[in-house]
Chain A
């Protein structure tokens, strides 16, 4: 990067609530998890907190055009804009969202499955057409489209410098932040909004997590206790957006900034043989200038294989004991890496550590490392 990039604002929402104050107990381990153990049993989830949507999405018409995933992301993006005091800058602000898909109509899907699953395929296909043509709401398609979270952020908040949506689970978010920062560093704009959102209480997502082989079933438990049962991740509703800004631009408008993005690197090991996640992360860590007293915010989901790889990697570095936000908040997929960056940036801004290392180890693929540092007082 040719220019320093600062994080000048964060928006964050999890099952604990919204904003920095609700998350003050995450990194020091004093917060208690909020868990819905029954709604999606056997899968526990960390649920969506109550949000006053009108505060960030003032038009009811806009709210109606979205389902919970897009509402959560759009709401949280607004929190970040407010936190950075950057509302007036949206006309030139660049946007990268990391996204999966929006909610399906689960009731319709279930009804169709019940009706046609056992029919001969040719007959089933014709009935499927009829049920979908009559049952799908036109607006639901837009609520499902991945790029429409970004679209809604443009519509509701007016962020129109550019708009891109990255796909690919946890890794998509790390690359979204990396590329947003690199573009600013190379002079493509001065300010960017980047992040993601995830709704854990969704059966369409839980089918996928069930298939992953690493989703935790039963009551919530700390990582260490889950290990006795083979380990596993619990999904958590979460959203985080970061306002990234060149140091020059932030200084010129009098924005203080929370932390400097000293490095952000991503990799994608094939995760077999010697091409392991630990080796990939170790390559990324080369020359990072890590301090022994750095705060380590781990992106571990709880999935046992990547958690073991991450622990092997961190042991090799000799870092301080990592904090595991996903243990308390659940794993929030595309929101996870930005959420952890937000927590680390807030900790740096409070002077809690001289440096923070934020890791990301995707459940299936993707390794990411970010280093945040305090913003030096101007000489």
Chain B
């Protein structure tokens, strides 16, 4: 069977690439995740004086000088390229610099950052932004560094993807949205293959401060590895993190025809926006529940056929409460086990949906559930099997991966075993 219950081409995954604070590459990341290791550390990239939160998950690129950290766009591009290289080497589809399909890049918004702004200010002949504008005149590096389409264009050029590269943001659901765009393009028959990835590199002073001002971040600075505590009673915020994950998506027919190793299937995707509030879900959970149900239905499945849920599980009091509500509404009393990768890698924001889809596929491959670490005091309001602290074997054929974003953008994916 090469088509799904709606007559659409079935979408396979034939390559995976991963970068997180736990390491570079699928093998190192997966081993660390199963071992329950935390990638959260004290921020060393910039001074943390006056910050409420001084911990994060960070990824420094090979050769990056410690005293001149990369800008966020450069870090995003660098990690994205590393993840794409790994995924493409595994998929062995196309040739070097020539990939037979489009690029869907989930990434954070880009802007002029402080080092660049201060550099312009030093060059400026007059104070204020008029001076900055004149100092930036005809400066191609400044221009191409702040274009929102710049990273996608450079990656498309390097990997030789087809057509216009698409860059997307749906806040914390971004990585899942990028995968959804890829599978939709294959399902519509526009292409046999697509590259979908999510990447995030925003650990810098202003971004940390902005999230702090929303009271979203954990301030458990004294013990970084124990700060991210999804579904646990003493949780008090998420931990910002960085990373990238890339998937080579391909129609099952195409993958089979060329004898590619099939790592798993993307069976369905569902989404639902929330109209309640900019940073909070509607207390009735309708959008979260709607997205989960839509993904399961899109996959042609019923809730009982989901064996495990890869949680959004940020570790904020609000998210984990709402996700529990969603789980009980969708699965009833018999919820499948659910665990949060973010307990170890932190919240990789724009990358999270892609990183967690990658880990979901590895969960299916090895029939082993990664744990939710730092589970010390259960929350009686969260009656879920969160795979506390230690990985365990389980029979897993289908995984629901949840991504819920600020701004009410919720996307869920269903990943399955290769038949």
Q: A residues touching B (Cβ–Cβ < 8 Å)?
A: 41, 43, 65, 95, 99-101, 104, 106, 109-110, 113-114, 116-118, 122, 124-126, 128-130, 132-133, 136-138, 141-142, 144-148, 150-152, 154-155, 158-169, 171-172, 174-175, 179, 182-183, 185-186, 188, 203-204, 206-213, 266-268, 270, 362, 364-366
Asked whether, in the complex, the Cβ of A154 is within 8 Å of the Cβ of B274, the reply is yes
CB–CB B148/A169 < 8 A: yes
Interface-facing stretch out of B24-32, B58-66, B135-143, B246-254:
B135-143
Instruction: Report yes or no: A126 in contact with B47, Cβ–Cβ below 8 A.
Output: yes
**Knowing A145-B109, A164-B170, A182-B188 touch, does A211 contact B138 (C-beta < 8 A)?**
yes
Q: Does B205 contact A (CB under 8 A)?
A: yes
Contacts of B271 in A (CB 8 A): 162-163
**Would you give the 0/1 interface string for B118-144, flagging 1 where the beta carbon is closer than 8 Å to chain A?**
101110000111101110111110111
Q: Is the CB of B166 within 8 A of A110?
A: no
Chain A positions within 8 Å of B139 at CB level: 211
The 9 closest A-B pairs by CB, nearest first: A168-B149, A151-B407, A203-B129, A211-B143, A117-B121, A163-B273, A167-B148, A113-B121, A138-B213
Contact of B217 with A by CB under 8 A: no
A-facing residues in B155-183 (Cβ within 8 Å):
156-157, 163-171, 177, 181
Contact between chains at B409 and A366 (CB < 8 Å)? no
Given A117-B121, A163-B408, A169-B147 in contact, is the A182-B205 Cβ separation under 8 Å? no
25 contacts between A and B (CB under 8 A): A113-B117, A124-B118, A125-B47, A128-B205, A129-B49, A129-B209, A138-B213, A138-B214, A145-B407, A146-B109, A146-B169, A159-B273, A162-B273, A164-B170, A168-B149, A168-B153, A179-B166, A179-B184, A182-B188, A183-B184, A203-B132, A206-B133, A210-B134, A364-B147, A366-B164
Asked whether B221 is an interface residue with its Cβ less than 8 Å from the other chain, the reply is no
The CA-CA distance from A150 to B407 in the complex, in Å, is 8
A362 to B148, CA, bound (A): 13
Task: Report how far A43 CA is from B129 CA in the complex, Å.
Answer: 12
Q: How far is the CA of A158 from the CA of B273 in the complex (A)?
A: 9
Please state if B120 and A130 are interface contacts (CB–CB under 8 Å): no
Does B331 reach chain A (CB closer than 8 Å)? no
Residue interface bits B65-79, CB-to-A below 8 A is 1, else 0 = 000000000000000
Question: How many residues of chain B have a CB within 8 Å of chain A?
Answer: 79
Whether A132 pairs with B137 at a CB distance below 8 angstroms is no
Task: Knowing A124-B118, A164-B170, say if A179 contacts B149 (CB, 8 Å).
Answer: no
Q: Are B170 and A147 neighbours in the complex by a CB distance under 8 Å?
A: yes
Residues in A neighbouring B114, C-beta threshold 8 A: 128
In the complex, are the beta carbons of A167 and B169 less than 8 A apart? yes
A147/B409 contact (C-beta < 8 A), A210-B137, A211-B142 known? yes
11 more A-B contacts (CB under 8 A) besides A160-B408, A204-B111? Answer: A110-B129, A142-B406, A147-B405, A162-B273, A165-B168, A165-B169, A171-B164, A172-B166, A185-B188, A203-B132, A208-B142
- Contact at B149–A167, with CB atoms within 8 Å? yes
- Asked whether any CB of chain A lies closer than 8 Å to the CB of B287, the reply is yes
B137 partner residues in chain A, CB cutoff 8 A? 210-211, 213
Stretch with Cβ within 8 A of A (4 or more), from B276-284, B316-324, B355-363, B366-374: B276-284
B304 within 8 Å of A by Cβ?
A: no
Contacts A132-B206, A266-B164, A268-B153; is A147 near B143 (CB within 8 Å)? Answer: no
On chain A, the residues within 8 Å of B405 by CB distance are 147
* A208 in contact with B112 (CB, 8 Å): yes
Q: Find A150's partner among B156, B181, B409 (CB 8 Å cutoff).
A: B409
| CA A138 to CA B143, docked complex, whole Å | 28
Known contacts A208-B143, A366-B149; A182 and B112 CB within 8 A of each other: no
Interface of B toward A, CB cutoff 8 Å: 46-52, 107, 109-112, 114, 117-118, 120-122, 127-130, 132-134, 136-140, 142-144, 146-149, 152-153, 156-157, 163-171, 177, 181, 184, 187-188, 190, 205-206, 209-214, 271-279, 287, 405-409
Give the CA-CA distance A364 to B146 in the complex, in Å: 12
- Least Cβ distance of A135 to chain B in Å? 10
Instruction: Write out the residue numbers on chain A whose beta carbons fall within 8 Å of the beta carbon of B188.
Output: 182, 185-186
Assess the A136–B209 pair: CB atoms within 8 A.
Answer: yes
Question: In this complex, which of A41, A95, A158, A171 has the most chain B Cβ atoms within 10 angstroms of its Cβ?
Answer: A171
> Do A106 and B129 touch (CB < 8 A)?
yes
B residues in contact with A146, CB < 8 Å: 109, 148, 169
**In the docked arrangement, what's the CA distance between A142 and B205, Å?**
17
Query: Given A210-B137, A213-B138, are A365 and B149 also a contact pair (CB < 8 Å)?
Result: yes
Q: Are B51 and A113 in contact (CB under 8 A)?
A: no
Interface centre among A122, A144, A146 (most CB of B within 10 A): A146
Nearest-Cβ distance from residue A67 to partner chain B, whole angstroms: 13
A339–chain B nearest beta-carbon distance, Å? 18
- B residues near A267, Cβ cutoff 8 Å: 163-164
Determine the residue in chain A with the shortest Cβ distance to B291: A162
Asked whether, in the complex, the Cβ of A166 is within 8 Å of the Cβ of B167, the reply is yes
* A15 smallest CB distance to B (angstroms): 21
* Given A130-B49, A154-B274, A207-B133, A212:B206 Cβ within 8 A: no
Pick the contact of A186: B152, B187, B213 (CB < 8 A).
B187
Asked whether B171 lies within 8 Å of A147 as measured between CB atoms, the reply is: yes
Partner of B149, one of A109, A114, A204, A364: A364
Asked if residues A129 and B48 are in contact (CB atoms below 8 Å), the reply is yes
CB distance B167 to A167 under 8 Å?
Answer: yes
Smallest CB-CB separation from A135: which chain B residue?
Answer: B209
CA A146 to CA B133, docked complex, whole Å:
22
Q: Are A126 and B49 in contact (CB under 8 A)?
A: yes
* Alpha-carbon distance A183/B279, docked complex (angstroms): 28
Q: Nearest chain A CB to B4's CB is how many angstroms away?
A: 13
Do A207 and B132 have beta carbons less than 8 Å apart? yes
Given contacts A163-B170, A167-B168, contact A109 B122 (CB under 8 A): no
A174-B50 Cα distance, complex, nearest whole Å: 43
Whether B214 pairs with A95 at a CB distance below 8 angstroms is no
**Whole-angstrom CA separation of A142 from B278 in the bound complex:** 8
Q: Which of A132, A163, A186, A362 has the most CB of B within 10 A?
A: A163
Closest to A159 in B: B273
Chain B residues near A212: list those with CB within 8 A. Answer: 143
Q: Are A155 and B408 touching (Cβ within 8 A)?
A: yes
Contacts of B169 in A (CB 8 A): 99, 146-147, 165, 167
Residue from B47, B129, B136, B409 whose CB has the most chain A CB atoms within 10 Å: B129
* CB <8 Å contact, A155 and B275: yes
